[in-house]
Structure 1
């Protein structure tokens, strides 16, 4: 890539910077991070420039603002526009990233294999976007929760699931289905219990256990383990906090009480 240092960031570059923000935990975004260096080489910019751009984009994340972390304050109008356009729709973000890389950088190593396998036409775009979006959503949720269950802290990725707070089937495809604020990183047991309405989290994100689960038969050790999380606040991610409106939907519609 030609040297673009000193030139204004364009829309495509800013989209790739937002993608990077969702690819690595915020705390790991530094000038020496290998993914930052990799994107810098791709764009023909310095790692410092990429680092600053990602931090500027991060300053649009309400959770980063609330934590008073070191996100820079000189975010551009383009940064905000791109963040607002894609932060609630990772399906569109992932598909745009794939096409930017394919069309502008000819970097097949970045591309999901589905792009080369699906038939042409509208069907291709719809199905590919859904497939890419589902994979991207899982990866993003695990990354922002630092590959740890938000209840137990378990970090075995084979046991972790990107759970939708408001179910996929009930979610708006443009603003909710792949919105990272509609996701929790849960272990397989708590994911299943959450999905079936046997547990939820209240307005303060403390775990509530359904009486149906509390009163079912289980051995004493399992019951003590299960109840040890009752009233415990979930571990928040580093960015894209779970949204109260999604949790309220889960409480009202999914939770069995």
Structure 2
């Protein structure tokens, strides 16, 4: 949120404001974010009051407003969404109408969610410390299809390598409210195999690499243990 931050400077140029003005606005938005409130971020009284209703609207409607923010940003950059996110749409170029619009919105939102989650974990797998972006996934704790309201919540995301993302998604591993990894009975049935010893044996009770901002929400982790992980432990 510093006025010397290169992203702040770039945004300021795009919207025709000073970097200092943008930094102040960001601080005021942070002051209404519960995470930053807990860190003691105060902001300015007048600015905070202006930001509160915008923040509330966004939190209640993340999917539409995150997409809208990306559309406006692309417009400021003199780009279309198709140009800015070209790689996301190659396989849906023949879709038409509402079907294409829904798919475009979903892919852009998922892409932004991935950026947020990877940044939150310093672009490292929270289990293995792998730091190759192409091998990392923004893994949802509560699955995407289960809760629309939490799809884009950074507290519902963990940065995992592709292997551990799949294991987490299928309930073969879980994460406790103390941020420790647990291994399912189904997976432990393979304990005598080389790949288990190589990739899973050391995970039991291993502490998660914690993010720099938004911790995984404990209620979400418990939901995963109760509804996804538990299926592999009966």
Which segment drifts farther, 75-84 or 143-152? 75-84
Root-mean-square deviation (Å): 2.8
CA displacement, residues 72-94 of structure 1 (integer Å, 9 cap, x when unaligned)? 43352332233333346553233
1:56 aligns with 2:36: no
**Residues 90 and 137 in structure 1, CA contact (< 8 A), matched pair in contact too:** no
Q: Is 1:73 aligned to 2:49, yes or no?
A: no
1-structure distance, mates of 2:14, 2:69: 13
Q: Does 1:108 align with 2:84?
A: no
Distance 1:143 1:224, change over 3 A: same
TM-score (norm 1): 0.74
Inter-CA distance 48–204: structure 2 relative to 1 (3 Å threshold): same
Cα–Cα, structure 1 residues 102 and 215, in superposed 2: closer, same or farther, change >3 Å?
Answer: closer
Q: Which residue of 2 aligns with 1:21?
A: none
Equivalent in the alignment of 2:18? 46
Partner residue of 2:136? 160
Change (3 A) 1:53 1:191: same
Q: Please list every run of 5 or more consecutive structure 2 residues that lacks an aligned counterpart in the other structure.
A: none
Report deviation, 1:202. 1.4
The answer on whether the counterparts of 1:40 and 1:50 sit within 8 Å (CA) in structure 2 is yes
- TM-score, normalising length from structure 2? 0.80
**5+ residue gaps, structure 1:** 1-28
CA–CA distance in 2 between the matches of 1:176 and 1:192? 20
Higher relative contact order (CA 8 A, sep 6+): 1
